[in-house]
C-alpha cells in the first residue's frame, strides 16, 4: 500500500523546500509492518541556497523524521511521544 504526497509551503513556496514523496506500508510477516518513505527534495531558493545546504538538510531531515514518527504512532494507535533514542 502506498500514498503519494507533496509537502510544500502554501505561501511563498520558493522560499521553502518542497518534497514529493511516496509513503509505503509493506507487510513483512505476522504482526510486522515496514513504514518507508521514498522522496525527492527541492531546496528553497534553488541553487542560490547551496551555501545553506547543510543547515537546510538537517532541518528537512528533522521535519521528515517527526512526520514519520507521528505517522507510525497514528497507524499503531499510540498517543505517547517517541523519544529520539528509539529511532
**pLDDT tens per residue, the chain (87 residues)?**
888 988 888 887 777 778 899 999 898 988 888 999 998 877 777 656 565 666 667 777 888 899 889 988 988 886 545 544 444
What domain range is 64 assigned to? 2-86
Sign of CA dihedral 28, 19, 55, 59: negative
Please say whether the dihedral angle defined by the alpha carbons of residues 10, 13, 17 and 19, taken in this order, is positive or negative: positive
Q: Count structural domains, the chain.
A: 1
Amino acid at each position: 500500500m502506498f500514498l503519494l504526497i507533496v509537502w510544500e509551503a502554501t505561501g511563498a513556496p520558493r522560499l521553502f523546500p518542497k518534497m514529493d514523496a511516496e509513503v509505503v506500508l509493506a507487510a513483512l510477516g505476522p504482526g510486522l509492518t515496514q513504514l518507508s518513505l521514498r522522496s525527492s527534495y527541492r531546496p528553497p531558493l534553488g541553487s542560490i541556497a547551496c551555501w545553506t545546504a547543510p543547515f537546510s538538510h538537517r532541518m528537512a531531515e528533522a521535519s521528515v523524521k517527526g512526520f514519520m514518527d507521528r505517522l507510525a504512532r497514528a497507524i499503531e494507535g499510540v498517543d505517547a511521544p517517541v523519544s529520539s533514542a528509539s529511532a
